[in-house]
């Protein structure tokens, strides 16, 4: 049976096995589009029906945990009473604070059924811990494999996973997904830049998983080593785990000569593989058979319609050991439910616009780091890195933006650089509505992180 029509694609025929008969089979050997056709070709209506059934089952399962037994006791809603998905709004939200305070109380199974734990990277404070049963790990690997397959990764691809292996979900999540799909998976891990380039050359890597800011940084190492990434066979990259702009994606695509797909997830919802771009690169499909999506106004908590930016809220629909109900992600995005040309009915979310909690307020103006990035990355003179420092002087907030300028422009005369500084200041001012102090620095002089980039240094409390 040909993949895509039944069974799992990775287990059936591959181009390599067909060898000389491939041209004869020609028309039959169309690459299957879907990893899991049964789920990926559901109509919107069928998908909602499946979600409703799974939501009831999840609620019933959640009641086995001390946390939800208590929390849901106050609500008069019983799992069997749910007649529509909208009724989920009658249930209380779950927050990161709940997870921190009551961690193990979220478990619905005895401890000896748990096989793994991960912890969030803690970019916004103390880490939260999530637990997985064997079934959870397998279901998660399936979702990541499905996501990778959707972009065109196939068995036989050489997949270099440049994410941190460990408590962070990015490394092991994609590792299991890559193996599940049938890729030759290289557990390269984060950092060790020269080695990353060597691995790519030696094993002729075709697919990358990489933090977007690191992808730009790595270009310097390629240059130092005299290797042109465009001459390597790499054709697909997954970039995610941190906010990045469309300009940043295009830069990565051009410099490496590949297609870069945005990938979204969070440890509280297993990790990566919650929402992923299809070849249209126009929003990330939420795997709605596994996650129930809501977008709410972060202040009023009212449900928002398509196209309006609000906070993403997810409910697990297939998780066994630690299902979360109406988890407030703090991530801001909008959703789109118009049909996608790829044929999947799963709704798409926009690029993450920021978090409700990384918003910085300077002189009363609300600013999201992504706005700064968008401006800087649209300027051809700007190199790969920048740093925003917030300080306070005489009760006055000052925003200093240190910007790396490409070597070729740095060699220009002083008048040119003064003018460039003025242009960057103006561009930031018109986007942010406040005037930052811009400092131009030489390329590769700002600190680089091997994990998620640290772009904002808030020193205002030190004043």
For the bound state, the minimum distance from the C-beta of residue 453 to ligand DLL, rounded and expressed in Å, comes to 11
Which positions from 272 through 311 interact with ligand DLL, judged by CB under 6 A? 272
Residue 266 CB, shortest distance to ligand DLL, in Å, is 4
Q: Closer CB to ligand DLL, residue 311 or residue 381?
A: 311
Cβ closest to ligand DLL, residue 170 vs residue 182:
170
x-marked contacts with ligand DLL along 227-246 as a string, rule CB under 6 A = -------------xxxx---
Question: What is the smallest separation between the CB atom of 60 and ligand DLL, expressed in angstroms?
Answer: 27
451 part of the interface to ligand DLL, by CB under 6 A: no
> 82 or 241: whose CB is closer to ligand DLL?
241
CB of 240 to ligand DLL, least distance (A): 3
Binding-site string for ligand DLL from residue 91 to residue 120, where x marks contact by CB under 6 A and - marks none: -----------------------------x
Tell me how far the alpha carbon of residue 329 is from its chain's centroid: 13
Smallest gap from residue 176 Cβ to ligand DLL (A): 13
Kindly report the three-state secondary structure assignment for every residue of the chain: CCCCCCCCHHHCCCHHHHHHHHHHHHHHCCCCCCCCHHHHCCCHHHHHHHHHHHHHHHHHHHCCCHHHHHHHHCCCCCHHHCCCHHHHHHCCCECHHHHHHHHHHHCCCCHHHEEEEEECCCCCCCCCEEEEEHHHHHHHHHHHHHHHHHCCCCCCCEEEECCCCCCCHHHHHHHHHHHHHCCEEECCCCCCHHHHHHHHHHHCCCEEEECHHHHHHHHHHHHHCCCCHHHCCCCEEEEECCCCCHHHHHHHHHHHCCEEEEEEEEHHHCEEEEEEECCCCCCEEECCCCEEEEEECCCCCCECCCCCCEEEEEEECCCCCCCCCCEEEEEEECEECCCCCCCCCCCEECCCCEECCCCEEECCEEECHHHHHHHHHCCCCEEEEEEEEEEEECCEEEEEEEEEECHHHHCCCHHHHHHHHHHHHHHHHHHHCCCCEEEEECCCCCCCCCCCCCCEEECHHHC
Tell me which of 147, 193, 262, 316 binds ligand DLL, using CB under 6 A. 262
> Which of 178, 271, 283, 321 forms a contact with ligand DLL (CB under 6 A)?
271
> Tokens 């070597």 appear where?
407
- C-beta of 88 vs 190, nearer to ligand DLL: 190
Among 98, 136, 331, 404, binds ligand DLL (CB under 6 A): 331
Choices 39-47, 75-83, 216-224, 267-275 (CB under 6 A): range interacting with ligand DLL = 267-275
The reply on whether position 266 binds ligand DLL by CB under 6 A is yes
Please report whether residue 355 would count as binding ligand DLL according to CB under 6 A: yes
Q: Is 263 one of the binding residues for ligand DLL (CB under 6 A)?
A: yes
Residue 352 touching ligand DLL (CB under 6 A): yes
Of the candidate spans 12-20, 39-47, 226-234, 262-270, the one that interacts with ligand DLL by CB under 6 A turns out to be 262-270
Residue 326 or 355: the one with the smaller Cβ distance to ligand DLL is 355
Identify the CA nearest to 425 among candidates 440, 412, 415, 442. Answer: 440
Q: Which stretch binds ligand DLL (CB under 6 A): 24-32, 53-61, 164-172, 416-424?
A: 164-172
For tokens 């029906």, what's the residue? 49
Pick the closer one to ligand DLL by CB: 167 or 417.
Answer: 167
Q: Which is nearer to ligand DLL, 52 or 330 (CB)?
A: 330
- Under 8 Å CB-to-CB from 241, ≥6 apart: which residues? 163, 170, 211, 263, 265, 272, 452
For ligand DLL, the binding residues in 168-207 under the rule CB under 6 A are 168-170
User: Given the rule CB under 6 A, which of 259-267, 319-327, 361-369, 371-379 is the region that contacts ligand DLL?
Assistant: 259-267
**Binder to ligand DLL among 9, 164, 178, 265 (CB under 6 A)?**
265
The residue range among 41-49, 143-151, 260-268, 375-383 that interacts with ligand DLL, by the rule CB under 6 A, is 260-268
Instruction: Indicate whether 264 belongs to the interface with ligand DLL (CB under 6 A).
Output: yes
Q: Total number of residues binding ligand DLL (CB under 6 A)?
A: 22
C-beta separation of 444 from 224 below 8 A: no
Residues 6+ apart with CB under 8 A from 247: 374, 377, 378
In the complex, the residues that contact ligand DLL under the rule CB under 6 A are 120-121, 163, 168-170, 240-243, 262-267, 271-272, 329, 331, 352, 355
């Amino acid at each position: 049976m040909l993949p895509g029509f039944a069974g799992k694609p990775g287990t059936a025929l591959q181009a390599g096995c067909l060898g000389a008969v491939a041209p004869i089979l020609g028309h039959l050997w169309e690459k299957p589009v879907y990893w899991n056709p049964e789920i990926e070709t559901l109509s919107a209506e069928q998908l909602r029906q499946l979600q409703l059934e799974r939501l009831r089952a999840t609620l019933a399962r959640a009641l086995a945990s001390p946390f939800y037994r208590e929390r849901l006791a106050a609500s008069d809603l019983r799992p069997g009473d749910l007649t529509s998905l909208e009724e989920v709004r009658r249930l209380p939200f779950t927050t990161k604070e709940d997870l921190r305070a009551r961690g193990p109380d979220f478990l619905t199974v005895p401890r000896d059924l748990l096989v793994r734990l991960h912890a969030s990277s803690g970019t916004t404070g103390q880490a939260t811990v999530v637990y997985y049963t064997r079934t959870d790990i397998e279901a998660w690997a399936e979702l990541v494999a499905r996501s990778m397959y959707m972009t065109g990764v196939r068995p036989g691809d050489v997949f270099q996973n440049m994410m941190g292996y460990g408590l962070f979900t990015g490394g092991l999540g994609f590792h299991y997904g890559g193996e599940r799909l049938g890729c030759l998976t290289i557990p390269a891990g984060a950092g060790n830049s020269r080695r990353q380039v060597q691995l790519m050359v030696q094993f002729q890597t075709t697919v990358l998983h990489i933090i977007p800011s690191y992808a730009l940084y790595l270009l310097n190492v390629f240059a130092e080593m005299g290797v042109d990434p465009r001459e390597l066979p790499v054709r697909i990259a997954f970039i995610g785990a941190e906010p990045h702009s469309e300009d940043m994606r295009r830069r990565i695509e051009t410099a490496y000569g590949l297609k870069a797909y945005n990938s979204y997830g969070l440890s509280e919802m297993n990790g990566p593989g919650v929402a992923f771009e299809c070849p249209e690169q126009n929003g990330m499909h939420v795997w709605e058979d596994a996650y129930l999506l809501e977008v709410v106004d972060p202040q009023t908590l009212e449900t928002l319609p398509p196209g309006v930016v609000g906070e993403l809220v997810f409910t697990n629909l297939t998780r066994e050991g630690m299902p979360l109900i109406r988890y407030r992600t703090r991530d801001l995005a909008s959703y789109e439910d118009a049909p996608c040309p790829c044929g999947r009915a799963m709704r798409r979310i926009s690029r993450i616009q920021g978090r409700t909690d990384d918003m910085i307020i300077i002189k009363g103006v609300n600013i999201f780091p992504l706005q700064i990035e968008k401006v800087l990355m649209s300027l051809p003179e700007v190199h790969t890195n920048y740093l925003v420092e917030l300080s306070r002087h005489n009760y006055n907030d000052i925003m200093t933006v240190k910007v790396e300028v490409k070597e070729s422009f740095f060699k220009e005369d002083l008048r040119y650089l003064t003018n460039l500084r003025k242009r960057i200041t103006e561009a930031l001012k018109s986007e942010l509505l406040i005037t930052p102090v811009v400092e131009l620095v030489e390329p590769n002089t700002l600190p680089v992180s091997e994990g998620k980039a640290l772009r904002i240094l808030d020193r205002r409390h030190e004043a």
